[in-house]
Chain A
Amino acid sequence: MNLTLKIWRQKDAKAAGAIETYQVSEISEHMSFLEMMDVLNERLITEGKDPVAFDHDCREGICGMCSMYINGEPHGPDRGVTTCQLHMRKFKDGDTIHIEPWRAQAFPIIKDLVVDRTAFDRIIQAGGYVSVNTSGNSQDANAIPIPKEDADNAFDAATCIGCGACVAACKNSSAMLFVSAKVSQLALLPQGQVERKDRVLNMVDQMDAEGFGNCSNTGACEIECPKGISLENIARMNREFISASISKG
């Protein structure tokens, strides 16, 4: 199929960017979206032009690196997938595809479609862990049975890949879904109890300091999340935060 691409090009963090238009032809419906981008880049290179920079790595939907806002939605029109898992069969011959980077104050653009998501790392560094040393001398793994339901819910929250689609989808660029997924995971497990209060307070603090917006409960994040992280987590984080704020004074 033949497609028209409207892609955000921006030389570096400081430069002003603009949308540029490209044509690609002979795109197979079996290609992944990124393979379609490879075709475009291969052509730009042979024409001596600057290829479009975009983040990608595992290309199987788990590393969380790829991050394109395609046709008005993070990771494109399909549900439950990352950009690398989006396939061209979701498009039709002659379509125009709009491709933009994640847009958020907290995710500055590095180049073209590549953004800096280290704000997420700093939020985790603020408390998204259990403070145990990696000695291996902790108690036996089966010493504390964990109800299957709790373990499963913790797992569901833990499947977040940190891609930032929630921020990109949110009209406020809020990071609540990302932060709440980690808060939930550890709040649900017995191992996370000791630091439960400090964790949520510190992580939310860092989240606010990074410049993410507030949660308007629109639910867009949940729908656009490639891993289907539930809004339930945001409610849980709200609870955790409020109770920690009250008891910690």
Chain B
Amino acid sequence: MSTLDSKIPDGPIKDKWTNHKNHINVVNPANKRSIDIIVVGSGLAGGAAAASLAELGYNVKCFCFQDSPRRAHSIAAQGGINAAKNYQNDGDSTYRLFYDTVKGGDYRAREANVYRLAEVSANIIDQCVAQGVPFAREYGGLLDNRSFGGVLVSRTFYAKGQTGQQLLLGAYSAMSRQINKGKIKMYNRHEMLELVLVNGEARGIIARNLITGELERHPAHAVVLGTGGYGNVFYLSTNAMGSNVTAAWRAHRKGAYFANPCYTQIHPTCIPRSGDYQSKLTLMSESLRNDGRIWVPRKIEDVEAIRSKKIKPRDIKEEDRDYYLERRYPAFGNLVPRDVASRAAKERCDAGYGVNETGEAVYLDFASAIMRYGREKANTSHIENPSDEVVRALGEKVVEAKYGNLFQMYEKITDDNPYKTPMMIYPAVHYTMGGLWVDYNLMTTIPGCFAAGEANFSDHGANRLGASALMQGLADGYFVLPYTIGDFLSKDIRTGKISTDLPEFEAAEKETKARLDALINNKGTKSVDHFHKQLGKVMWDKVGMARNETGLKEAISEIRKIREEFHKDVFVPGTTNSFNPELEKATRVADFLELGELFACDALNRSESCGGHFREESQTPEGEALRDDENFAFVSAWEWTGDPGTANLHREDLAFKDIELKQRSYK
């Protein structure tokens, strides 16, 4: 195992970023005009990067597979975005956000990156407000905050349950402005299928025009991947149907190391699965845990009565309910970090207390919040001795104002009214902390290939705190990459246009075409989804919320088998040179089938538990995750060798100089 150079600047942590910015190379404005940058992905990271780079003067080409850059999956983030603004005067600071993030990530993130993230977080809010993002406000006209899991301050800015949408539309509007100026050329319905390296540097991509099926060569002096996470390797996740690993995986196969693939966030509050036909899972914002209390029945006979619909959840008496998060974690209660909340739900359901037919659901109950808010409201409206009905009605109004759209969404999906009966929730795959390994400059191990947002591994360690994904995506795109990319490109001011006639482009296009042809000409018997579901089941059962050595070894061999089967027996209808959604799926699933194996290998290799990665062999007597800092305080960065099973491990040792390394406790 070799070690990796993360290029962390010297000096005290609070000065690193400023010093670094002061000393890196910059490209003068005239020269920027002769430099081309490709940005793949138009979400918060990609969209923000594309807009910022174009403003600086670079010629940007941006690619997204959706029909518009506004549809990137960042749009689905609900709860909010963190920033160390300390508007609530509750003791928040850059250091505290930094500390919370490193601790929340179970001490598996790179300190310097996290500090920088905390440092620029305040600028994000300023920036977004200037763009016209309609954040929630208080009656005094100032910005409102809410609190989120894993922290003790209120630092989350939000726009009802649609924060991701509003932030993405902010980035989209900044992009639109540059598209209008001709500084960004937007390629909608285009998918990157290969990274092109010239002399070992990223110099372009092969993209497929999804409407015509045509393969296109796009040259550039640098390539930025803002392509999101790979949660869809589980088939069922809260990711969009199209979210995929292909761009990152192609870069990995060309030499970019893939870091910590096994770090997956399982979000505790999703709508439970209802049947085998299910195509995706829907998240209910973590913000609901601010007011909702999570419980299961204390008595197994009540569970059975509920499942057979003999009694309703409201019939169960208060003393017969097990508010297991409040019981186990009195300090944080329902606001423990996501990994802890998810595992606790699994623990109860595994013990047989799951409350729906599949036994995979717990209650999220708003009854007490409704009554609490109702009484407050009655007080402020000077209603004397209100009846319970009046209080409930008043409380429902307050809850509706806070979470109305989420409640409505829940009701549309489940046909249950969450004001009257508790919601049912269960954990689901939501976010992947792992991703392409990047140095402090967000450059992968391929010179000129950068990764931003969820696509890289850098800031969340082994578990991400709520409302931090939006923060990281925008920080990378607006405030980090625009500086650090200049350092790399400063050597390219005399390079001139990259020719697409180079043999490297020729070869990459040929190879891509062969890959597509093979899928179309395979003429097997089973659909792409068939294999994707199989992969997902193995991943969820054996590489999901709890992992052990035996299971992981089985998973590795099973995934290999599914992959071989896939290439032998998959049937992809249609042609390569037409609009063909099945072919798109096939190329993505082919890559997931390789990633899945690496994922399991990484999980097997890391025999400690940390954050979202829980190895049953490594737990405290109370069943909490037990880290092994002696042997595993490092980042696993995997090098492609031609087969995911034999990937080469490189490690980046993590040094904790500003935060004491200690066992995480939310008790």
A residues near B (Cβ < 8 Å) are 12, 28, 30-32, 34-35, 38-39, 42, 44-46, 48-51, 53, 55-65, 78, 80-81, 85, 87, 89, 110-111, 114, 116-118, 120-121, 124-142, 145-148, 151-152, 154-155, 158-159, 161-162, 185-186, 189, 191-192
The minimal Cβ–Cβ distance linking A29 to chain B, given in whole angstroms, is 9
The minimal Cβ–Cβ distance linking B583 to chain A, given in whole angstroms, is 11
For the complex, give the distance between the alpha carbons of A44 and B141 in Å.
Answer: 55
Q: Which of A62, A117, A161, A186 has the most B CB atoms < 10 Å from its CB?
A: A62
Report the nearest B residue to A42, measured CB to CB.
B527
Instruction: Report the 5 A-B pairs with minimum CB-CB distance, sorted nearest first.
Output: A145-B141, A136-B123, A129-B173, A138-B130, A155-B134
Report which of A38, A126, A148, A159 forms a contact with B529, defined as CB distance below 8 A: A38
26 contacts across the A-B interface (CB closer than 8 A):
A38-B279, A50-B574, A57-B242, A59-B282, A61-B409, A63-B66, A80-B408, A117-B68, A118-B188, A129-B176, A130-B130, A133-B55, A134-B51, A134-B478, A135-B127, A138-B126, A138-B127, A138-B130, A139-B126, A141-B125, A145-B137, A158-B166, A159-B162, A162-B68, A186-B132, A191-B129
Q: Does B318 have its Cβ within 8 Å of any Cβ on chain A?
A: no
Q: Which of A60, A151, A191 has the most B CB atoms < 10 Å from its CB?
A: A60
The minimal Cβ–Cβ distance linking B400 to chain A, given in whole angstroms, is 14
Report the nearest A residue to B174, measured CB to CB.
A134
Report which of B138, B172, B277 forms a contact with A124, defined as CB distance below 8 A: B172
> Do residues B76 and A62 form an inter-chain contact, with CB atoms below 8 A?
yes
Report which of A80, A132, A142, A162 forms a contact with B131, defined as CB distance below 8 A: A132
The minimal Cβ–Cβ distance linking A178 to chain B, given in whole angstroms, is 12
Q: For residue B73, which residues in chain A have a CB less than 8 angstroms away from its CB? A: 57-58, 63
Q: For residue B141, which residues in chain A have a CB less than 8 angstroms away from its CB? A: 145-148, 151
Report which of A30, A60, A145, A151 forms a contact with B134, defined as CB distance below 8 A: A151
CB under 8 Å from chain A, chain B span 177-232: 177, 179-180, 186, 188, 211
The minimal Cβ–Cβ distance linking B537 to chain A, given in whole angstroms, is 16
The minimal Cβ–Cβ distance linking A21 to chain B, given in whole angstroms, is 20
Report the nearest A residue to B166, measured CB to CB.
A158
> Do residues A63 and B280 form an inter-chain contact, with CB atoms below 8 A?
no
Report which of A35, A45, A137 forms a contact with B571, defined as CB distance below 8 A: A45
With A50-B574, A142-B87 known as contacts, the answer to whether A110 contacts B211 (CB < 8 A) is yes
Report the nearest A residue to B210, measured CB to CB.
A110
Report the nearest A residue to B408, measured CB to CB.
A80
Q: Does B283 have its Cβ within 8 Å of any Cβ on chain A?
A: yes
For the complex, give the distance between the alpha carbons of A107 and B638 in Å.
Answer: 45
A-contact 0/1 string along B386-411, CB 8 Å cutoff:
00000000000000000000001100
With A45-B527, A60-B280, A63-B71 known as contacts, the answer to whether A125 contacts B179 (CB < 8 A) is yes
Report the nearest A residue to B56, measured CB to CB.
A133
With A129-B174, A148-B137 known as contacts, the answer to whether A35 contacts B279 (CB < 8 A) is yes
Q: Does B588 have its Cβ within 8 Å of any Cβ on chain A?
A: no
Q: Does B240 have its Cβ within 8 Å of any Cβ on chain A?
A: yes
For the complex, give the distance between the alpha carbons of A64 and B132 in Å.
Answer: 21
For the complex, give the distance between the alpha carbons of A124 and B529 in Å.
Answer: 36
> Do residues A136 and B412 form an inter-chain contact, with CB atoms below 8 A?
no
Report which of B129, B132, B275 forms a contact with A28, defined as CB distance below 8 A: B275
CB under 8 Å from chain A, chain B span 561-577: 571, 573-574
> Do residues A189 and B132 form an inter-chain contact, with CB atoms below 8 A?
yes
Q: For residue A44, which residues in chain B have a CB less than 8 angstroms away from its CB? A: 573
A-contact 0/1 string along B478-520, CB 8 Å cutoff:
1100000000000000000000000000000000000000000
> Do residues B415 and A51 form an inter-chain contact, with CB atoms below 8 A?
no
> Do residues B132 and A35 form an inter-chain contact, with CB atoms below 8 A?
no
For the complex, give the distance between the alpha carbons of A162 and B138 in Å.
Answer: 28
Q: For residue A48, which residues in chain B have a CB less than 8 angstroms away from its CB? A: 571, 573
The minimal Cβ–Cβ distance linking B533 to chain A, given in whole angstroms, is 10
Q: Interface residue count for B (Cβ, 8 Å)? A: 84
For the complex, give the distance between the alpha carbons of A22 and B51 in Å.
Answer: 45
Report which of A85, A133, A154 forms a contact with B412, defined as CB distance below 8 A: A85
Report the nearest A residue to B67, measured CB to CB.
A117
> Do residues A85 and B413 form an inter-chain contact, with CB atoms below 8 A?
yes
CB under 8 Å from chain A, chain B span 124-167: 124-143, 159-160, 162, 164-166
For the complex, give the distance between the alpha carbons of A137 and B85 in Å.
Answer: 15
> Do residues B188 and A63 form an inter-chain contact, with CB atoms below 8 A?
no
Q: Does B120 have its Cβ within 8 Å of any Cβ on chain A?
A: yes
Q: Does B70 have its Cβ within 8 Å of any Cβ on chain A?
A: yes
The minimal Cβ–Cβ distance linking B321 to chain A, given in whole angstroms, is 27
> Do residues A118 and B68 form an inter-chain contact, with CB atoms below 8 A?
yes
CB under 8 Å from chain A, chain B span 551-600: 571, 573-574, 578-579, 581-582
Report the nearest A residue to B475, measured CB to CB.
A136
Report which of A62, A80, A125, A146 forms a contact with B176, defined as CB distance below 8 A: A125
For the complex, give the distance between the alpha carbons of A45 and B71 in Å.
Answer: 27
With A124-B173, A148-B137 known as contacts, the answer to whether A118 contacts B126 (CB < 8 A) is no
Report which of B142, B159, B241 forms a contact with A57, defined as CB distance below 8 A: B241
Q: Which of A110, A134, A146 has the most B CB atoms < 10 Å from its CB?
A: A134
With A134-B55, A141-B125, A191-B129 known as contacts, the answer to whether A58 contacts B274 (CB < 8 A) is no
With A60-B282, A65-B66, A155-B159 known as contacts, the answer to whether A53 contacts B413 (CB < 8 A) is no
Known interface pairs A58-B75, A134-B48, A148-B139; 10 further A-B residue pairs with C-beta atoms within 8 A, sorted by A's residue number: A39-B277, A46-B527, A53-B581, A63-B71, A80-B408, A87-B415, A137-B126, A151-B136, A155-B166, A162-B68
For the complex, give the distance between the alpha carbons of A145 and B409 in Å.
Answer: 31
For the complex, give the distance between the alpha carbons of A45 and B531 in Å.
Answer: 14
Q: For residue B160, which residues in chain A have a CB less than 8 angstroms away from its CB? A: 155
With A30-B274, A64-B71, A129-B174 known as contacts, the answer to whether A45 contacts B582 (CB < 8 A) is yes
Report the nearest A residue to B274, measured CB to CB.
A30
Report the nearest B residue to A49, measured CB to CB.
B573
The minimal Cβ–Cβ distance linking A197 to chain B, given in whole angstroms, is 16
Q: For residue B574, which residues in chain A have a CB less than 8 angstroms away from its CB? A: 50
Q: Does B287 have its Cβ within 8 Å of any Cβ on chain A?
A: no
> Do residues B280 and A59 form an inter-chain contact, with CB atoms below 8 A?
yes
Q: Does B52 have its Cβ within 8 Å of any Cβ on chain A?
A: yes
For the complex, give the distance between the alpha carbons of A126 and B177 in Å.
Answer: 8
> Do residues A141 and B143 form an inter-chain contact, with CB atoms below 8 A?
yes
Q: For residue B87, which residues in chain A have a CB less than 8 angstroms away from its CB? A: 142
> Do residues B409 and A32 form an inter-chain contact, with CB atoms below 8 A?
no
For the complex, give the distance between the alpha carbons of A136 and B509 in Å.
Answer: 39
For the complex, give the distance between the alpha carbons of A60 and B51 in Å.
Answer: 27
Q: Does B278 have its Cβ within 8 Å of any Cβ on chain A?
A: yes
Q: For residue B278, which residues in chain A have a CB less than 8 angstroms away from its CB? A: 35
Q: For residue A63, which residues in chain B have a CB less than 8 angstroms away from its CB? A: 66, 71, 73, 75-76, 240
Report which of B52, B166, B241 forms a contact with A59, defined as CB distance below 8 A: B241
Report which of A58, A116, A146 forms a contact with B240, defined as CB distance below 8 A: A58
Q: For residue A185, which residues in chain B have a CB less than 8 angstroms away from its CB? A: 132, 134
With A57-B73, A139-B126 known as contacts, the answer to whether A12 contacts B68 (CB < 8 A) is no
The minimal Cβ–Cβ distance linking A40 to chain B, given in whole angstroms, is 12
> Do residues A136 and B279 form an inter-chain contact, with CB atoms below 8 A?
no
Report which of B85, B129, B412 forms a contact with A87, defined as CB distance below 8 A: B412
Report the nearest A residue to B138, measured CB to CB.
A148
Q: For residue B137, which residues in chain A have a CB less than 8 angstroms away from its CB? A: 145-146, 148, 151-152
> Do residues B142 and A145 form an inter-chain contact, with CB atoms below 8 A?
yes
For the complex, give the distance between the alpha carbons of A124 and B69 in Å.
Answer: 12
For the complex, give the distance between the alpha carbons of A161 and B159 in Å.
Answer: 14
For the complex, give the distance between the alpha carbons of A234 and B219 in Å.
Answer: 43
For the complex, give the distance between the alpha carbons of A61 and B409 in Å.
Answer: 8
Q: Which of A30, A131, A141, A155 has the most B CB atoms < 10 Å from its CB?
A: A141
